[in-house]
């Protein structure tokens, strides 16, 4: 079964600095999708960024970028120029490309990010 591991329960970053959140996953599939979700104190789940496994180019969304290492099964999230509003729980998630009708998301346990002013 696929698993997603986030080894950092908590992280802290100074405002305007850069922080990297780690995620590793285990799968025997070659085609899949990876996601980072943000959950602020409001508890709403917000999609931050997505990556297709067959694409070598790392995804980027404004201040958010990923480092996708397929062979190492690693999918880290880099947040540049951190802002107070980035403080949240961040979840890494995996989804098979062809599982079931669409596959369900498998989540890691999350990393709580604090941003210091």
Partner 1 sequence: DSGVTQTPKHLITATGQRVTLRCSPRSGDLSVYWYQQSLDQGLQFLIQYYNGEERAKGNILERFSAQQFPDLHSELNLSSLELGDSALYFCASSVPGSYYGYTFGSGTRLTVV
Is the CB of residue 108 less than 8 Å from the CB of residue 6?
Answer: yes
Give the span between the Cα atoms of 45 and 74, in whole angstroms. 22
From residue 41 to residue 80, the character string flagging contacts with partner 1 as x (rule: CB under 8 A) and all else as - is -xxxxxx--x-x----------------------------
Tokens matching residue 34: 């990876």
Among residues 35 and 87, whose Cβ is nearest to partner 1?
Answer: 35
DSSP class of 34: E
Name the β-bridge partners of 67.
76
Q: What tokens does 61 get? A: 């969304």
Q: Whose Cβ is closer to partner 1: residue 82's or residue 111's?
A: 111
Query: Between residues 42 and 71, which has the closer beta carbon with respect to partner 1?
Result: 42
C-alpha–C-alpha distance, residues 2 and 89, integer Å: 22
Among 10, 17, 18, 98, binds partner 1 (CB under 8 A): 98
Per CB under 8 A, residues contacting partner 1 are 33, 35, 37, 42-47, 50, 52, 91, 93, 95-110
């Amino acid at each position: 079964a696929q698993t997603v591991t986030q080894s950092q329960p908590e992280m802290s970053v100074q405002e305007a600095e850069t922080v990297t959140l780690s995620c590793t996953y285990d799968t025997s599939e070659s085609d899949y999708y990876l996601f980072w979700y943000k959950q602020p104190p409001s508890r709403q789940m917000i999609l931050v960024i997505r990556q297709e496994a067959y694409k070598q180019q790392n995804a980027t969304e404004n201040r958010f970028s990923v480092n996708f290492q397929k062979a190492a099964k690693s999918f880290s999230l880099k947040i540049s120029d951190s802002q107070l509003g980035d403080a949240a729980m961040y979840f890494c998630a995996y989804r098979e490309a062809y599982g079931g009708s669409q596959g369900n998301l498998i989540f890691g346990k999350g990393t709580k990010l604090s941003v210091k002013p």
